[in-house]
Copies of this chain bind each other. A is one copy, B any other.
Amino acid sequence: MTQSSVSAPRPLEGLRVIDLTRALAGPYATLLLAGLGAEIIKIEDPKGGDLARENSPYVGRDGVTVMRAHPDDLSVSHLTRARGKKGVSLNLKAPEAREVFADLVRSADVVIENFTSGTADRLGVGYAAAQAANPGIIYCALSGFGAGGSDGSKAMDVLIQALSGAMYTSGEEGTPPVRIGIPMADMLAPVFGVIGILAALQHREKTGLGQFVDVSMLGALTSFVAIENWRAMEMAGMSGRTGLTVHRLSPFGVFRCADGYVAIVAVHEGLARSLFRIMGEPGFADDPRYNSRDGRVANAVGLEAQIEAWTSSLPTAEVVRLLEAEGVPVAPVRHPSEGMLDPRVVARGETMAVKHPRYDTDESLRTVGIPIQFSGCRTGFDDVLPVEIGQHNASVYGETLGYSAERLEQLRAAGTI
C-alpha cells in the first residue's frame, strides 16, 4: 500500500492547534499533527523565536554548513521541525498578549506547550486561561516529570534516559551503560501527547467537554522500559543488560563481519540447521552441543564464537546474501544515513528529503516523516513553513481572527507581535 493521491484529504483537516512549543519534544508533537492535516499556529517570540532556529548545522546556498554563512541559511532543525506550521509572533510578556492568546484559543480545538512545568500558568497561557477563553479546548502539556512536578528544568533527554533505566538495558554485562543515540524521551512524550489529544477529541465528540492532557518524558520512556520483565529477570538471576546476543535464544544477535556487522536470528531448529550448512559446518546439526535448542543455549558462547569466525571472514553483504537465499532471518547493521534512504521508507514517506524554500538540497539529507499510510487519506506537510518569525501574522491575525489592519499595526508598534 503506497500513499494516497495528492488530492486525498488528510485525516485531521479542520482541526486547529495553537502551538506554544519550543526545542524538540513539543515541536515533534505538532509536526505529527501537521503531517496528519491539522492547522498548526506556531507562536514565537518576536525577538529570536524558537531556539531551534539557531541549531547547527545550517542549509542554504552553500549546501550544509556548520556555521551560518548567509542570511538565508536556515537551521536544519527549524527546516525539519517547523514544516506544515504557520508562524505567528507573540511576545507572551506583553500586556495585550493574553487577549490575543484568548482570541487564538477561542478559534482553536487544541493548545499544546512544553514549557518547564508551571511556566505556562505564570505567563498567563496555562490551562486555566485557555479554558476560560474556550471551555471546549483540549490543552496538552508536555513536561519532564508531569504537570505540577518540580524538577522541570532538569528534564533533558540524557537525564530521563538515566532515570528510566533505558540506559542500563543496552550493552554487555560489566560494561558502562549506553546512552541511546535517538532522543527517546524527547520523542516518546510527544507521541503519547498526540494519542492523548486524539483520545480527548473522541471524548469531546461525545460530551462536548475539553480537558487537560498531561504527559511526562519520564513516564513515557519508563512505560516503554516496563514492557520487559526486568524485575522477574532480576529475581531469576538474569542480567538487566541485554548485550548483542541472547544466549537463551542462541543463535540470536549481532555478529562481526569483515567490514561491519550483521544481525542473525536462527532460533528454530530448521533455521539453525540452515545456518550451520551455510557456514560450512553441517555436522553441527548432529553435534550434541548444538543439535537441540537446549544444547545451543547451554553452549551459546562456543556457538557464537563459531558463527563469528565465519561471519568475520566475509563482507556483510555476502553474509546477508547467503543467509537470505536460504530463508534465515538476517539484516545488515546499517548507518542511519543508509537506513533513512531505504527505498521502502522513502516510498512510504517515513523519511523525507529536507527542503530549503530557495535552494536545492541533497536528496540524501533526510528527516522524519509520518510513518502511517491511510488508504483514504494522505499525510504531508503542504510546504507551509515560517521562514521568518511572524510570517503568517497577516493570515492568522488578520484573516482567521479578523483583526483589522489598524489593530495589527498597533500590536506591532507595541511590540506585542
Contacts from A to B (Cβ < 8 Å): 1, 9, 11-15, 24, 28, 32, 36, 57, 59, 63-64, 66, 76-77, 80, 127, 145-149, 153-154, 156, 158-171, 176-184, 187-188, 191-196, 198-203, 205-207, 209-216, 218-220, 222-236, 240-244, 252-254, 256, 261-263, 265, 329-340, 342, 344-345, 348, 350-352, 362, 364-377
Contacts and interface: CB of A to CB of B under 8 A. Distances in A.
A242 B158 contact: no
Given A1-B146, A219-B345, A377-B211, A329 B202 contact: no
A146 B347 CA distance: 11
Contact of A162 (B1, B160, B227, B332): B332
B167 A226 contact: no
A261 B241 CA distance: 14
B263 A159 contact: yes
A222 B338 CA distance: 10
Nearest to A328: B154
Contacts of A213: 372-375
B228 A182 contact: yes
A331 B163 contact: yes
- Work out how many copies of this chain go into the complex: 2
Contacts of A243: 179
B202 A11 contact: yes
Interface centre among A211, A219, A261 (most CB of B within 10 A): A219
A387 B306 CA distance: 43
A182 B227 contact: yes
A231 B339 CA distance: 11
A188 to B, nearest CB: 8
Contacts of A338: 165
Nearest to A14: B206
A86 B271 CA distance: 35
A158 B228 contact: no
Contacts of A1: 146-148, 212, 214
A348 B337 CA distance: 38
A162 B375 contact: no
B373 A146 contact: yes
A350 B203 contact: no
B222 A372 contact: no
Contacts of A165: 334-340
A334 B163 contact: yes
A366 B212 contact: no
Contacts of A334: 162-165, 168
Given A80-B227, A163-B332, A192-B371, 18 more contacts: A146-B344, A159-B263, A162-B331, A163-B334, A167-B333, A168-B334, A169-B181, A176-B254, A181-B240, A188-B371, A195-B195, A195-B198, A213-B373, A216-B350, A222-B351, A229-B367, A230-B340, A231-B340
